Structure 1
Amino acid sequence: MKSFGQAWRRPRTSSSTVAESALTDFPDGVKIWHSPTDAEIDICFIHGLSGNRDKTWTAHGQHNPWPTELLQSRLAKARLLTYGYDAYVVKKSVSSTNRLIDHANNLLHDFTAERASSGIISRPLIFIVHSFGGIVCKTALIISRQSPESHLGQIYKSTRGIAFLGTPHRGSWAADWAKIPTWALGQVKSTNRNILDVLQTKNQYLEFIQTSFLSMIRELRETGRPLQITCFFEELPMPGVGTIVSKESASLEGYSAFSIHANHSEMVKFGSAEESGFKRLLGELVRWDAMFGTGDSTASSVAELESDGKTPNATSSLQTTTGHIFNASGGTQHNNTGAGNQFFGNFNGPVYFGLPSTK
C-alpha cells in the first residue's frame, strides 16, 4: 500500500492553481431533513473531514441525501437531522483554525439550542457519524457529560445509540501528515494541523478521548442505561491511496462491527435500499427504534441483527494542562485555551492511557 506521501505529486503551479476565493459559502450548523409531527426520536448525521452535511450522504447520480429517500418510510416517527462544520483541513483558500474541541463545543451548543427551541430537549437521540465526525461526536458527548450547565448535559442524557461508520478510534495512517511534502501543505494550500495531528495513530489526545468515551459508556451501562453502539468499516481501498481507516481502528472491543462494500468515502453513500451496507445499518436502527419504544418501523424485510455487545472495562482519566479551571459535575474540568491539545475530564482516580495502540 502506498504511503500517504507517495499519493501526492507536485502540481504544475500557475496562477489558476493558486488563485481561489478565500471565502466559501460553507453550510454549517443543524439542518432538518425531515420532521414528522408525531416524531418520537431524533437521528442526527455528522460528516467527516472534507465532508458536507448534504453531499457526504448523497450517492452519485442522486439529487437528495439517502436518509431523506430511504429512511422516512422505514422509520416513520424519526426526525432526521444533519450537522455541518468546516472540516476542510487542506485547502487552496483559507482553512478553518477550529480545533477538535471547538467543533465539538459548537455541535453540542447548536444541537442543544435546536432541540430546546423545538421543545424536545429530552427526546431519545441517535447519532450516525462518519470518520472524523465520530471523534467530534464522542468529544461532544464527553463535554456534555461533564458540563456544569444542565442544559448542555441533556445531549449526553438523551443519547441512546451511535452508529460509527469508518471512525478512526485509534487513528489513521493517512493522518501521518509529516510524510506529506512541505510544498503540498505550505506553499499551495492552507492546512489545519491541529486536527490533522489528532488523527495520527498513537496520538495521546486521541487515546485520551477514547479512554474517556469508554469510561462514559461503562458508567451508562452500570447505571442501567447502556448506550447502543455498532461500528462499520470499509471493505475497499481508496484508489491510489489504500485503506484510510483499518478494521481494527474502526472497531470498538466488545461491540459488533460490520463491513460495508465500499471505500472510505463511498461507504456512506447508499444508492438504493437493496445495498447490503444500507440493510446492515437499517437493521441496527430498526432494532434500536424498537428498544427505545417508538415501535413504528416498517422495515419488515430487514432481519434484526443480534449484537448484545459488552462494554469493555476502561478507567476514567484526565490529563491536565494550563488554562481556565472551573468546577464541574463530579470534579474539576480544565479547558486549555492555548493552541495545542485540549484536555478535559473529571478527577476520579489515577490517570491511565492503557489502550493498546494499533499500527
Structure 2
Amino acid sequence: TPEVPLLSITLESDAVVQPTEPAKYLKLSIQKVHHVSGYLGFVVPLLVSLYYTWTRKQRRLLQLIKKHLALSIDVDPLLRVINLNEVLRILSLLERLVRLAKQIQSYPSPAVTDAAPTPAVCSAEEKSVKCEVLHDPGDQQRDADIIFIHGIKGALDKTWTQGLWDLASLKVLNLKEEKAWEIPSSQDKSPPTQEKKICWPRDWLPQDLPSARIISIGYTTDPYLWRPFFLNDTQRTGLPERAWEMINKLSEIGVGSRSIIWVGHSKGGLYVKQMLVNACESSEPRFHNFSKNTKAIMFYSVPHRGSILANLNFPWLFRQSIELLEVQKNCQQVISLHKKFLEKLEKKELSVAVRSFIETRLTLMGLVYVRIVSEESADAEVGELYGIPLDHRNICKPKNRECFLYQQLVKLVRETIEPEDLVPS
C-alpha cells in the first residue's frame, strides 16, 4: 500500500489556539438585513393576521360552548373570568396529549418484542430512505464498504461536494492534545472551480481507495422544520425506526459481509450510532455483522448532545418537526443513544476507530450567524477531535484531494482496514 502524502505542517504552540470568531453567540448580517428588509412589511402583517384568524376560531368555539351549556348555569360571569390565553394553552396541551396517546398505541408490546424497534415494525411505516452506490469495484475486488449519511436538509449533491471556501491557511486544532497546526494555502494543488460540481466521495475516493465500495444513504426531511400552526402534522418515522430502514436497505445490497467505514455529517452521525446500537441489540445474525465488521467512523460536526438551535421555538406560530425534536440540546433521546453507544464500545461489542471534526466558525442562517454544533456536543468522548475553521455546511466539504478533511478520512480507512483487505491504488 503506498504511503499517504503527508501534509507539511508547522507546530505553532502547545496551547490551544482559540478561534478567531467573535465571542458573542449571534451577530446580524447587515447585508442580509438590507436585502430582506423590503419584505418584512409584508411578512409580519401576514403572520399577525393568520395568528388572529386562528384565535378568532377559538373564540367561536367558546361561543358555541356558551350557547349549548345548560340554561340553569349562569354562564356569562364564568366566561368573563376565563383567560383566553389559558384556554388556548389548555387546548394545545390536549392536542399534545392526543398525539402522545397515538404514539403510545403504535408502540409494540414489550411482552412480545424487544426494547428496540424491529425491522418488522418499521416495514409498515413511512418509507423515506434511499440507498445509492457511487462506486463498486465488483464482488471479486470489493474489500470494504464506505457509507456516507448526510444531515437534516442534506443530500448527496448538496452535502458531499467539493468545498469552495477560500482561506489563506487552514488552522487545525487538536482539541484532545491541545495542539495546533496551520496548513498554508500554497498546498492547494487543485483549486476548486464552480464550473463542475464535484461529489468528492464519488469522484475522489475511487482514485485513492479503488477496492472500496462507496455508498450514499439519503433520506427525506420534513419540508417544514418549524411547521406553521395552520398546516396539519405529518406522520413521520423517528430516529430508531428510520435507522432500521437504513439497515434493511444496506442489507439488501450485501453490506455487512465486509469491513465497514461510516461517514456522517451532523444528524447523519446520529443515524450511524443508532444503526450500530440496533445491530448490537438485534437477535438476527445478519444485523450483528454490521456491528462486528464496523472498523471506523468519521464524524463531521455531529451533535452527540444535541444542538441549541433545535430548541428554538415560536409558540402559537410554528410547531417543531420530529427532526428537530430529536436533536434538541441535551434531549433525552440523543443522550440515551450516546450512552448506549459508549457502553457498546466499553463492553467490546463495538471495536471501532473514531475521528471527529467540529466547526469553529459560525454559520449564516437567514439573517444571523449561529453556532449549530458546539465543541462540547461534537466531542464523541472517544477517538480524535479536530477543530476546523469552517462553518457547519463546509466542515464536510474538502477543498481538494490534499485537503486535511479528505486526507484524514483516507488515512483512517487505510489504518483500520487490514493491509491484505485493501487493494492499493
TM-score of the pair, normalised by structure 1: 0.68
Q: CA deviation at 1:297?
A: 4.1
Quickly say closer, same or farther: Cα 1:152–1:133, change in 2 above 3 A.
same
Q: CA deviation at 1:260?
A: 2.9
Once the two structures are superposed, what CA deviation does each residue of 1:278-301 show, in whole Å capped at 9, x if it has no partner?
223332223223x46424344xxx
1:229 and 2:354 correspond:
yes
Partner of 1:83: 217
Query: Could you tell me how far apart the structure 1 residues matched to 2:414 and 2:387 are?
Result: 18
Quickly say closer, same or farther: Cα 1:3–1:106, change in 2 above 3 A.
farther
Quickly say closer, same or farther: Cα 1:200–1:254, change in 2 above 3 A.
same
Once the two structures are superposed, what CA deviation does each residue of 1:230-284 show, in whole Å capped at 9, x if it has no partner?
1111122102232211122111224211133321111112231132322233322
Q: CA deviation at 1:36?
A: 0.8
1:29 aligned to 121, 130, 133, which one?
Answer: 130
Deviates more, 1:104-113 or 1:277-286: 277-286
1:288 and 2:423 correspond:
no
2:240 aligned to 85, 101, 126, which one?
Answer: 101
Once the two structures are superposed, what CA deviation does each residue of 1:169-216 show, in whole Å capped at 9, x if it has no partner?
1111111133x4653x35xxxx52x33122112211211101110011
Query: Could you tell me how far apart the structure 1 residues matched to 2:305 and 2:363 are?
Result: 19
1:213 aligned to 322, 337, 341, which one?
Answer: 341
Structure 1 contact 89–196 (Cα < 8 Å) conserved:
no
- State the secondary structure of the residue aligned to 1:73: helix
Query: Could you tell me how far apart the structure 2 residues matched to 1:275 and 1:33 are?
Result: 21
Compute the RMSD of aligned alpha carbons: 3.1
Once the two structures are superposed, what CA deviation does each residue of 1:304-352 show, in whole Å capped at 9, x if it has no partner?
xxxxxxxxxxxxxxxxxxxxxxxxxxxxxxxxxxxxxxxxxxxxxxxxx
Q: CA deviation at 1:27?
A: 8.5
Q: CA deviation at 1:229?
A: 1.0
Query: Could you tell me how far apart the structure 2 residues matched to 1:170 and 1:230 are?
Result: 17
Query: Could you tell me how far apart the structure 2 residues matched to 1:54 and 1:276 are?
Result: 21
Once the two structures are superposed, what CA deviation does each residue of 1:56-103 show, in whole Å capped at 9, x if it has no partner?
101353423111222111112111000001134636898662211222
Query: Could you tell me how far apart the structure 2 residues matched to 1:255 and 1:294 are?
Result: 23
Q: CA deviation at 1:144?
A: 1.1
Structure 2 contact 161–197 (Cα < 8 Å) conserved:
yes
Q: CA deviation at 1:153?
A: 2.5
Structure 2 contact 280–288 (Cα < 8 Å) conserved:
yes
2:374 aligned to 241, 246, 252, which one?
Answer: 246
Structure 1 contact 172–244 (Cα < 8 Å) conserved:
yes
1:68 and 2:196 correspond:
no
2:159 maps to a residue whose letter is: T
Corresponding pairs, count? 273
Query: Could you tell me how far apart the structure 1 residues matched to 2:316 and 2:299 are?
Result: 32
Structure 1 contact 27–52 (Cα < 8 Å) conserved:
no
1:52 aligned to 155, 159, 166, which one?
Answer: 155
User: Based on CA coordinates, which of the two structures has the bigger radius of gyration?
Assistant: 2
Partner of 2:305: 170
Provide structure 2 residue ranges, at least 5 long, that are not aligned to the other structure. 1-23, 51-126, 165-193
Partner of 1:268: 396
Greater helix proportion = 2
Provide structure 1 residue ranges, at least 5 long, that are not aligned to the other structure. 19-25, 299-359
Query: Could you tell me how far apart the structure 1 residues matched to 2:223 and 2:274 are?
Result: 18
Q: CA deviation at 1:3?
A: 6.1
Q: CA deviation at 1:53?
A: 2.9
